[in-house]
Structures are given as structure tokens and as C-alpha cells.
Amino acid sequence: MINVGLYYRVREGHEKEFEEAFLKVVSILKSSDIGFIDAKLYRRVDDPREYLIYSEWKDLDSFRKFTLSNDYKETTTYGKTILEGRPYHRIYTELKENES
């Protein structure tokens, strides 16, 4: 399993729209068989226009395949209309006992 942190800054006035889009996308991903496990949405306390989506994937290959899909391209195209700046992501893997 891997985790991916997706970081976004939303244009002022689009926070609720972003949150609703997140719920819709998660629902679609959960009903598909692409290796998506779950995701949680976090909002920065001192800047409520900054968000983190912390997602869980079966493996890195599953996440990479998703980023090449038409669904991902449609989501990112829509995101350009409500996001400020370019979002970015970081990939995290769980350390095994002998790796720490």
C-alpha cells in the first residue's frame, strides 16, 4: 500500500465547490476497480483555502495508472477553473520494521 498527499490552494469563494467535488470523485473511485482504497480531505487551520487530500492506493502502479486515465485528465481540467496555482503531490510508502 502507498499513500499520496495531494496539495491544493483553492480560489477564494470556491472552497465548498472543491469539497463537494472531492466527495464526488472519491465516490466514483471507490466504485471502480483501479486500486484506490480511500481518501480523506484536510483543510489548513490558518489558511482555509489550502487543502490536502490524503489518499490510499493498493500500490504505486495503481496510482500511476489513474494519473494517466481520462477521468484524471477531466478532473485536472476542471480543477484549473477553481484552483489557484499548480497543485502538487507527494508519495509515501510504509516503512517495514527492518527499514527504520
Query: Which residues are bridge partners to 10 per DSSP?
Result: 83
The residues, ordered by sequence, that sit 6+ positions from 96 with a Cβ below 8 Å of its Cβ are none
Confirm whether 99 is domain-assigned.
no
Please indicate, yes or no, if residue 55 is contained in any of the structural domains: yes
Task: Tell me the residue length of the chain.
Answer: 100
Q: In the prediction, which pLDDT does 75 show? A: 85
CATH number at residue 19: 3.30.70.100
**Are 4 and 59 contacting, i.e. CB atoms less than 8 angstroms apart?**
no
Task: Show pLDDT as tens, one digit a residue, over the chain (100 residues).
Answer: 999 999 999 999 999 999 999 999 999 999 999 999 999 999 999 999 999 999 999 999 999 999 998 888 888 888 889 999 999 999 999 887 666 5
H helix runs in the chain, sequence order? 15-31, 60-67, 70-79
- Name the domain count of the chain: 1
Residue 100 lies in a domain: no
Classified as helix, coil or strand, 36 is strand
- In whole angstroms, give the CA distance from residue 48 to residue 23: 18
Domain of residue 84 covers 2-94
